[in-house]
A = this chain, B = another copy of it.
Amino acid sequence: MNNSHLCPKFEKAMNIVSKRWTGLVIYQLLSSPQRFCTIQSSIGISGRLLSDRLNHLENEGIVKREVYPETPIRIEYSLTEKGLALKPLMKELEIWSQTWVELEDKK
């Protein structure tokens, strides 16, 4: 049972950005529009999941997919205005991570 007293908009926002990989995909697209395989190798996500996440983000109006019928074909993903509006959030996470996150020693 969910007795939530949270703001539903906030709750939905949290569900969007806290889905695994989604945050990193958005972060990656903040630097510039880019294609599927670039995102994939930058953040180390599998094609299967990247495909899934991009679809979700497109449905949420956060990411926009554009096909350039060049040769070879180029499909570029970029952030919409809604997606770009997440920049301050990402900035805060960067600040927090630099201040507080400690990396474990690798064995």
Report whether B97 and A4 are in contact in the complex, using a CB–CB cutoff of 8 Å.
Answer: no
Q: For residue A1, which residues in chain B have a CB less than 8 angstroms away from its CB? A: 44
Other-chain contact of A24, B14, B19, B86 (Cβ < 8 Å): B14
Contact with B along A1-43 (1 / 0, CB 8 A): 1111111111111101111101110010000000000000111
The reply to whether the CB of A88 lies closer than 8 angstroms to some CB of chain B is yes
B12→A101 contact, CB < 8 A: yes
Chain A contact-residue range equals 35 or more
Known: A3-B44, A18-B22, A23-B14. A93 touches B101 (CB 8 A): no
A75 at the interface (CB under 8 A from B): no
Selected contact of A10 from candidates B6, B7, B86, B93, CB within 8 Å: B93
- Docked-complex contact B100 and A96, CB < 8 angstroms: no
Question: Within 8 Å CB of A73, what residues of B?
Answer: none
Which of B13, B92, B99 touches A101 (beta carbons < 8 Å)? B13
The residues of B that contact A70 with a CB separation of less than 8 Å are none
